[in-house]
Amino acid sequence: MASITARRNLDKKAEELFKETHFTKDEVASLLRMFEDYAKHEKIDRGTFRDILYYNFGLTEDILMDRVFKVFDEDNDSNINMKEWVCGFSKFLRGTTKEKMDFCFNVYDLNGNGYILREEIHHMLKDCMVKSSTEEDAEENVKELVEIVIKKMDFDHDGKLSPLDYTTAVSKENLLLQAFGKCLPGRQEVDTFTDKYIKTKQS
């Protein structure tokens, strides 16, 4: 009887949530079952979520995984609830171009002030650069790359990237979407995750 009640509650929650997403009701129900597998006290914590990002989507940069977590965690309580889980994955897996641009911008806006600053770009790119023969050379290479990026994307020439700068640049050249590090899954990762967790047969 308890399992029947739990199933009805899950179906009711899926019915409430799916209209806010790019998923069907059954797909939301599958995501909610996955949520229940990982959650403690109806919340998923940062460490558990980082593991999901690492093992399912190949995200490896600590700072970017933390920022993806923060973008999912809309109420800023340091946990992910059911709604945040489902709506976050809607954008993460099936977001429109605009949703993906907004998602990436918010990930790269490390201090959450509404701009991607030169210092933030430097911080994100320094760990991605192949190390040169000396640390001094590597640092110079990062500085040069940051200046190239700013020159290419800073359309209002104020030394930082606004949401408009970023979306304008990405609209002109889609490869700039994840210019500062991987924070969205590739097509194969999306398909694998979908097949494993979302397209499960309904019991």
Mean pLDDT of 117-138: 78
If residue 1 lies in a helix (H) or strand (E), which one and from where to where?
Answer: none
From the centroid of its chain, how far is CA 25?
22
Taken in order of first residue, the domains within the chain and their CATH numbers are 2-95+186-198 (1.10.238.10), 98-178 (1.10.238.10)
Q: What is the pLDDT of residues 59-111, one digit of tens each?
A: 999 999 999 999 999 999 999 999 999 999 999 999 999 999 999 999 999 99
If residue 23 lies in a helix (H) or strand (E), which one and from where to where?
Answer: none
pLDDT at 4: 76
- Block residue for tokens 């050249």: 173
Mean pLDDT of 184-188: 96
Q: Is 80 exceeded by the pLDDT of residue 197?
A: yes
Mean pLDDT of the chain: 92
Contact 31, 23 (CB under 8 A): yes
Mean pLDDT of 12-38: 95
Tokens in use for 35? 């949520």
3-state SS assignment for residue 116: strand
Pairwise CA distance, residues 92 & 21, whole Å: 11
Cβ-based neighbour number of residue 193 at 10 Å: 19
pLDDT at 5: 76
